[in-house]
């Protein structure tokens, strides 16, 4: 029997198969193989009459997303409200980058249009003209039909900060879902992190079906591990000018004769955020290099130390007590924090424990 995972909670999985919804467990071999089932996984079930159905396998994934944790996604709907919480262009640009880095295409969905003026809408249409863009209000119903139509025959996932109205939107599309929603803190303009789990729901439109996943809101988004020179590749608005700058290693920041600065809107918020993200990408890259260097040094130190342990064992011919081994390990850990240059200069004698 085949099914679709719609919810994962602890060691239980909700699986839809035909018009049945079943609460299943998984066969131990899936976990042993180091696999974690995700919402969106297509699974095979064993369903005996008097026992709980068991997931015995799953299909290879077309794609997967780390956050929200999901598999086999056709589109990621990035939701940001006009107000309450305020539209956060830095966060949405980070999300766009993360989604494109996962080789998925984002759809930008601007919620709570009932709270905004037309000026904001106009500005967003200019800023995000390179992306599919939808404006909607779950309060008034404005824009819902167009958005619902794009969900058909696909698996979509909603992602965005807490309080922007992700669960409210699914409740509008499918009132049977009864998803919990939470008030936005009026003073801080922040949501209450009402949704705690990813869950997938069917949506019906003109005899067609689509699937949409709700997910917990978040306020920060880590950048993917990029190099500075790669960042511009994730900006569709830069695409036709890439490779046309005077310098091959142009980062489109302060360089002269930069095709992107000459042709794209450098007054835009997108470009401003690009510069901020570029700086952050550079910082993260340096941090990764530094931690790699210190990891290498630790490995070297541990390697040398083990060599000496073998030497000592060979010459003295005794088995080290567990206590000495423990002390040795503590020392290795402390060495990792020593000045790397001083570490390099130690003689083999000094390495001995
Ligand atoms: N004015 C207005 N309020 C809305 C709209 N959509 C949702 N809300 C309100 O916004 C608040 C938050 O909605 P939720 O659906 O819980 O938001 P969420 O994105 O699911 O939040 P988390 O689960 O915390 O991530 C609720 O009080 C909703 O009633 C809308 O279109 N207009
Ligand atoms: Mg929610
Ligand atoms: Zn350039």
CATH numbers and ranges of domains, the chain = 2-60 (2.40.50.140), 65-214 (3.40.50.300), 228-285 (1.10.40.50), 293-351 (no CATH)
Instruction: Give the separation between CA 246 and CA 308, rounded to whole angstroms.
Output: 55
Which amino acid residue places its CA nearest to atom 30 of ligand 1? 112
At 28, the pLDDT band (50, 70, 90 cuts) reads confident
Give distance in angstroms: CA of 84 to centre of ligand 1. Answer: 9
At 305, the pLDDT band (50, 70, 90 cuts) reads low
pLDDT digits (tens, 9 = 90+) for 35-73: 889 999 999 999 877 788 999 999 999 999 988 999 999
Q: Tokens for 88, please give them.
A: 């956060």
pTM: predicted TM-score of the whole model, two decimal places? 0.83
Which residues on adjacent β-strands are paired with residue 79?
109
At 10, the pLDDT band (50, 70, 90 cuts) reads confident
- Residue 167 Cβ inside 6 Å of ligand 1? The answer reads yes
Which amino acid residue places its CA nearest to atom 26 of ligand 1? 183
Task: Kindly state the average pLDDT of the residues 333-352.
Answer: 41
Alpha-carbon dihedral of residues 24, 30, 34, 35, nearest 10 degrees? -60
Q: How many angstroms separate the Cα of 9 from the Cα of each of 36, 197, 217? A: 12, 8, 17
pLDDT of residue 219: 81
- Residue 139 Cβ inside 6 Å of ligand 1? The answer reads yes
| Cβ pair 253, 238 in contact under 8 A | no
pLDDT of residue 309: 56
pLDDT of residue 49: 75
* Mean pLDDT, rounded, of the chain: 86
- Residue 215 Cβ inside 6 Å of ligand 1? The answer reads no
Which amino acid residue places its CA nearest to atom 2 of ligand 1? 112
Task: Kindly state the average pLDDT of the residues 113-128.
Answer: 95
Residue 167 has pLDDT above 50, yes or no: yes
> Of 89, 132, 112, which is closest to residue 221 (Cα–Cα)?
89
Which amino acid residue places its CA nearest to atom 32 of ligand 1? 112
> Of 136, 96, 130, 133, which is closest to residue 116 (Cα–Cα)?
136
| Cβ pair 227, 249 in contact under 8 A | no
- Residue 183 Cβ inside 6 Å of ligand 1? The answer reads yes
Give distance in angstroms: CA of 111 to centre of ligand 1. Answer: 9
Say which residue, 188 or 272, is predicted with more confidence.
272
Give distance in angstroms: CA of 217 to centre of ligand 3. Answer: 35
- Got the DSSP string for 211-268? EEEE----S--PPPS--HHHHGGG-GGGGGGTT-SSSTT--SSS-SS-HHHHHS-TTS
- Residue 102 Cβ inside 6 Å of ligand 1? The answer reads no
Task: Kindly state the average pLDDT of the residues 193-200.
Answer: 95
At 346, the pLDDT band (50, 70, 90 cuts) reads very low
Atom of ligand 1 nearest to the CA of 195: 23
Atom of ligand 1 nearest to the CA of 191: 24
């Amino acid at each position: 029997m085949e099914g679709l995972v719609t919810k994962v909670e602890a060691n239980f999985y909700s699986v839809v198969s035909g018009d049945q919804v079943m609460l299943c467990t998984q066969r131990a071999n899936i976990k042993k193989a180091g696999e974690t089932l995700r919402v969106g996984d297509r699974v095979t079930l064993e369903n005996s009459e008097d026992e709980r159905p068991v997931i015995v396998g799953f299909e290879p994934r077309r794609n997967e997303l780390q956050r929200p944790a999901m598999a086999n996604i056709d589109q990621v709907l990035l939701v940001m409200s006009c107000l309450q919480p305020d539209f956060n262009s830095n966060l949405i640009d980070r999300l766009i980058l993360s989604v494109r880095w996962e080789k998925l295409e984002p759809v930008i969905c601007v919620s709570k249009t009932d709270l905004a003026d037309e000026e904001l809408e106009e500005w967003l249409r200019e800023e995000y003209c390179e992306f599919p863009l939808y404006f909607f209000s779950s309060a008034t119903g404005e824009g819902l039909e167009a958005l619902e139509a794009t969900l058909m025959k696909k698996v979509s996932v909603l992602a965005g900060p807490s309080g922007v109205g992700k669960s409210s939107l699914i409740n509008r599309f499918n009132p049977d879902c009864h998803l919990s929603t939470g008030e936005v803190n009026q003073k801080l303009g922040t949501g209450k992190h009402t949704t705690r789990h990813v869950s997938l729901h069917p949506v019906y439109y003109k005899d067609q079906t689509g699937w949409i996943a709700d997910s917990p809101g978040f306020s920060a988004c880590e950048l993917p591990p990029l190099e500075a020179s790669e960042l511009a590749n994730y900006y569709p608005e830069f695409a036709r000018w890439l490779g046309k700058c005077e310098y091959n290693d142009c980062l489109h920041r302060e360089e002269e004769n930069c095709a992107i600065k000459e042709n794209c809107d450098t007054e835009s918020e997108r470009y401003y955020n690009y510069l901020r993200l570029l700086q952050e990408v550079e910082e993260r890259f340096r941090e990764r290099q530094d931690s790699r260097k210190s990891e290498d040094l630790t490995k070297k130190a541990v390697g040398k130390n083990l060599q000496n342990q073998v030497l000592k064992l060979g010459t003295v011919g005794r088995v080290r007590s567990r206590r000495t081994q423990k002390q040795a390990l503590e020392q290795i850990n402390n060495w990792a924090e020593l000045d790397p240059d001083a570490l390099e200069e130690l003689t083999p004698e000094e390495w001995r424990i």
